[in-house]
Structure 1
């Protein structure tokens, strides 16, 4: 297939009522695009990171009642899964596309990563642009731009991931749906490539 980007219909999948209907729409409309991005970016990220990277398209297999509000493809240097590892993601909510570097709560080394992030807070501030966003919870669509976070607030995020079992640390880019639906597939791929290059120092820090 060729990748033509994401359409309004793709974002509107998350308005569909009912688990089965929404899961069917995700599987038919969005999952093939995520698989395409997975195949495209796994070798690119392998070259970038120096680790062999594998892609994992979200299956939402554990859901039995509530339909998913977002979906994604994740990249990690493990063939069997990504949640326990530092990883990258491309995905979408109804409102936006997200491009993440993520350390989520399952990762056994997230405390160590939080310590490094706290210690290198000034360096991170110099490397990550102000319009990139930070989050402490991958299950929520909201995130704070780096430019809006004081250094104390950023340090608090890094401390929380060290001290709270469910806390996470994600950094990346949000692209609102109106911008994304105007992009060609190639333009979106270039945007993702650029974001991954910017986020690479965080991956290298773990």
Structure 2
């Protein structure tokens, strides 16, 4: 399904042109791939999950620098809750678990992050304090990322995986299974954090 031609949508530097390419070339893939992820998640966790595909409706001038689908466990919306995204920057795919700056009950997540800090580091996920940047730092920076998230109210908490367009796997093709496995793996944190918060 996904292939190296996905990145061609970013070659159009106009707003309408890029949006048309995203809607034509990527959104149908997100719909199919995301629907399969929902089925897998609901079968594994016996809970309800919800998907949102980015529509970029607020953009009036500049083309979107990235695009994505998001899955969470709150039908009212994903941005104020723990959520997982699968998307593309112009040079890479990304799969990220995020707690954004304005998440509900923000401070309640601080001890949960500390509890799972070593597990996330051991698993080698990339980490960041900015969901609007494609840059993920290595897992050994996670303690600093958590500290920054606690101190700076405008910061995000991002844990994730990236597959660069230059990676041989992308050039060869047939990496849907890899993206699926990474997405399902990182979803454990979304489910666990929601469960921890409800205890």
TM over 0.5: yes
Residue 133 of structure 2 corresponds to residue 140 of structure 1: yes
Alignment partner of 1:195 out of 166, 182, 189: 182
Q: CA deviation at 1:79?
A: 2.3
Residue 180 (structure 1) aligned with residue 173 (structure 2): no
**Which residue number corresponds to residue 26 of structure 1?**
22
CA distance in 2, matches of 1:200, 1:25: 28
Task: Say which of 82, 89, 97 aligns to 1:86.
Answer: 82
The corresponding residue for 1:46 is 42
Deviation beyond 6 Å, 4+ runs, structure 1: none
Q: C-alpha root-mean-square deviation of aligned residues, in Å?
A: 1.9
TM-score by length of 1: 0.84
Question: What residue in structure 1 maps to residue 197 of structure 2?
Answer: none
Unaligned runs of 5+ in 1: none
Q: Is the alpha carbon distance of 1:32 and 1:155 closer, same or farther for their aligned partners in structure 2, counting shifts above 3 Å?
A: same
Structure 1 residues 11-66: Cα deviation after superposition (integer angstroms, max 9, x where no partner): 02112111111111111111111111111111212233443001100011111111
Alignment partner of 1:39: what SS?
helix
Residue in 2 aligned with 1:167?
Answer: 155
Aligned residue for 1:144, secondary structure, equals coil
Residue of structure 2 equivalent to 1:5: 2
